[in-house]
A and B are shown apart, each in its own frame.
Chain A
Amino acid sequence: MAQELSKTIGLPKAKKPENELRGGRDFSALFWVLMVGILLILIGLPMYWLVFRSFSLPNEGGFTLKNYANVFSNPRYLEAVKNSLLLATGAAVLSVGIGVPMAWAVARTNMPLRGLMRILLLVAFTTPPFLGGVAWVLLAGPNSGELNKWFISLTGAEKGPFNVYSLVGAIFVVGIYSYPYTFLMVSSALDFVSSELEDAATVLGAGTFRTTFRITLPLVLPSIISGFLLSFLEALSLFGSPTLLLIPARTSIITTEMWQSFQYPANVEQASAFALPLLVLTGFLLWVQRRLLAKRNYTTLTGKGGQKRPIDLGLWKWAFLGFCVFVLMLSLGLPFFILLRASLSKAWGRPFEFTNATLQWYDDVLFKEPTTALSIQNSLLYSAGAATLAMILGIAIAYIVNRQLIRGWRILSFIVLIPLVIPGIVIAIGIFSAYSHPPFALYGTGAILIVAYTTRFLPMSFSNSNDIFKSVNPELELAARNLGSTQLATVRRITVPLVKRGLVGGWLLVFILAMRELSCAILLYSTNTQVMPTVLFEMVNEGSFERVAALGVVMLAIIFLVVGLAYRLLGRDFMLDKRT
């Protein structure tokens, strides 16, 4: 029979030994164990140190509850908590107020330029909020802000009405960069609502707006609340732009307080004790959000199969378009304009004319000043490093979870998502404690930043890979296994190539997030490991806004380039993973 087979396939009988499987040992199991080990260290170590130091006496060690007592009694901290909650609530209300009408108009109506609005919104979403904050200082600073100047020249008043250095100012700036959360949540829920559900109401005599308020919006209410909670969380853990705007206003917030505990004389223990209650709160909110989304089932019942017809808004469509354009002007148009202008002006406060124009600042930040040039290089390097590590780990863990390779895979899928609930600056506190002494003495090196980014963005790389693996039929892998490929080789040669596009998208996503990450880096950088966000933060404190603008424009250019790439690769949904 072997001969018959040989005849058919054309293999000389003598060559039979070639048919034996060769290759060394199968290291698959070892690899999975290694990946799980790294995951546990990466997330467990900072968590352990955070808790440990929160119960330690500064500089002495030993068990104490003093740090916690201080957090709950010191009026300064209580004030910070109050302000943080105000800021977060205000920003979340603004986020819903802007995000819901925009999502409805873009997803459900015949408003013109809907596709363009989606793209611009994605651009707004990827803009680092800190740069937005800088731009709004230039626009609405109390004296020299551009909008105030316009106002004065128009009305002849002595003083402009805008002051961005205030809690209201901070709420505004944080809000106009967090509404994309609400938008993304709500618009993707609206995509699942079939027109038939609305038609059923219309048939019964309800008008367009009544149907919208009584049927459509209640259907997507869980995602609206979800958008609110995400914006709230984001504002609560944001460091950069609130600090920029609120320190001059002498208004303290939680993240700023934590950062200041790290200034001389550093009190890491106190910061840790402050961080843990915050962590409990964020964890709870995120849990609520997930619960809400998990219950969303009733909107998806009809599935994507349901017909969708855009609602005809009549003349109202221009009003909605106007609203969208206005919002995008606030979060994109004006800030970009002012940054670009400042970066090209000799002095940003003077009118923009030919004698004031210069490319000197770009020359400075790109070539002349070693700090900024180095920071660009570092940012690219660390972000790429973190994206690569996070993806390798994320792919491995997602694979283990999806194919249920080891016992306890369910717990694994929970552990890997823990960093989601940890504000960046809190992760930084834990990482600082965990990696500032042997066996992982990384403090002061670039490695600590890479580790920090990897830890922080692991949930994103995991969810990205997880979704992708879910879409791959396991039989494609079994087929390779049974032709002689080991488990690991199968992942490498079959699974990963199959989902390459999606994984590259995940890599780019983590890369962008790491490029703009300030809150984590601010506690971990040193002179030689500056990254773009930390340099920007320092330069703002020095007051050199032209350089800030130039470096900011460079940073935006890099980010948008990457976003464009990801967009071409994956379409508009790729940012959805970010925090859902």
Chain B
Amino acid sequence: MATITIDNLTKVYGTHAAVNHINLKVNDGEFISLLGPSGCGKTTTLRMLAGFISPDDGRILVDEKVVSSAQKTIPPEKRNMSMIFQSYAIWPHKTVFENVAFGLQLRKVSKEDLRRRVSRALDVVKLGKMADRYPSQLSGGQQQRVALARAVVIEPQILLMDEPLSNLDASLREEMRVELRRLHDEIGITTVYVTHDQSEALVTSDRVVVMYDGSIQQAGSPEEIYERPSTEFVARFIGRCNTLPGTLSANGQVDVSGLHIAANSRAEGVGPGHDVILSVRPHSIVMDADPARAEYPNSFAGKVQTQVYLGEYRDYIVRLDNSDLELTVVTQPTAHYSVGDVVYLTLPPEACRVVPRSSRIKAELEQIVTAMTSES
């Protein structure tokens, strides 16, 4: 029904650019998520889409029509978009039915029509029997569904969601994200979904837009984002990753403090002589006690530093010989090595990807990523 074009969009607070010249195109019926740590500009972008905030520069177009620009912002009530809020924003003084009916009342829909559309929407979210209840009598998950029904019943051109699942407990969250995707497949509204939870973004979205510090780091399918990150931030932020700083040499190998590691895949914009990051996922690394492994390409000897048993898998930290590099390795739970064991690691070149080294301050980045990963 609608495409969204974000063109050079910028929002400045004081001297800080909360959203910094971003460009994005959302296709008709697409489900995209804006993913990033808090303060990355995703919520500001969403609120500009909704019309709650005016941009300082750039434009937002829905289909061919400019809805936001520095000169003119169409107010939220004239946009025919719906938004689902982090707090659900269910009005406690209205029943479930009245909550859902509100948008239709504003559109002066006839009585019978309204009744039918509301009860249909409530059926879709499985709340048909709760119509006369007040929100305080509903569970968190049910309130979430009311918000959903209220948002879709007006048949918006675009559905916006602002961390809609973050107030639910873990198991319900997993259930609801599948549910959201199912609902989207059913009604196919163009959807923009804001979250800081990567698994939410990966499960629900056609495309994931990773944001950091006001700009878009990468936009791509979940597979692309995970397997072919294009910046250091994306590599660190999505999933767990070993990120080894080094220099790209002319032969395509990365010189990581004296170790030469071959990598088959390269992000755009990196070339010989650049400061780069070599990223490799812990579960892609092959670990073996057999010295024969040392003969494979990209193989190095090391010592097990720590070992953690997590039931479904084991986590090792291995320090490579003759260097101070430490790699995180994930293995089957059956592969058991003790601290101090000598092991051989292979970093398969096809699992190694070279991305540009971030110019941002390292410590800050590390902090954010640690916080994010420990949260999810």
Contacts and interface: CB of A to CB of B under 8 A. Distances in A.
Interface of A: 1-2, 4-6, 8-11, 15, 18-23, 26, 473, 475-476, 478-487, 489, 493-494, 497-498, 500
Chain B interface residue bracket vs A? 35 or more
Interface stretch (B34-42, B84-92, B247-255): B84-92
Given A5-B189, A9-B117, A22 B107 contact: yes
B106 A482 contact: no
Contact of B86 (A4, A11, A21, A475): A475
Interface string B67-100: 0000000011111111101110101110000000
Interface stretch (B151-159, B201-209, B330-338, B347-355): B151-159
A485 B124 contact: no
B113 A481 contact: no
A12 B316 CA distance: 60
Contacts of A8: 120, 124, 186-187
A2 B83 contact: no
Contacts of B222: none
Given A5-B152, A8-B120, 5 more contacts: A1-B29, A11-B117, A18-B108, A19-B155, A482-B51
Nearest to A26: B75
A485 B106 contact: yes
B56 interface: no
Contacts of A26: 75, 77
A542 to B, nearest CB: 52
B52 A9 contact: no
Most chain-A Cβ atoms within 10 A of its Cβ — which of B1, B77, B188? Answer: B77
A10 B120 contact: yes
A438 to B, nearest CB: 40
Given A475-B85, A481-B77, A484-B77, A498 B106 contact: no
A478 B91 contact: no
Contact of A476 (B89, B107, B117, B160): B89
Contacts of A489: 106
Contact of B93 (A479, A480, A481, A498): A498
Interface string B100-124: 0011001111100100110011001
B77 A9 contact: no
B50 A482 contact: yes
A476 B91 contact: yes
B28 interface: yes
Contacts of B228: none
Contacts of A11: 113, 117, 155
A5 B189 CA distance: 8
B32 to A, nearest CB: 16
Nearest to B160: A482
Nearest to A500: B93
A484 B28 contact: no
A497 B86 CA distance: 22
A181 to B, nearest CB: 35
A482 to B, nearest CB: 5
A9 B28 contact: no
A5 B188 contact: yes
Nearest to B110: A18
A479 B153 contact: no
18 contacts: A5-B155, A9-B117, A11-B117, A18-B107, A18-B108, A18-B110, A19-B107, A20-B107, A22-B107, A26-B77, A475-B85, A479-B83, A479-B91, A481-B77, A483-B102, A484-B103, A485-B102, A489-B106
A2 B188 CA distance: 8
A380 B276 CA distance: 80
Contacts of A21: 77-78, 80, 106-107
Interface string B184-207: 001111000000000000000000
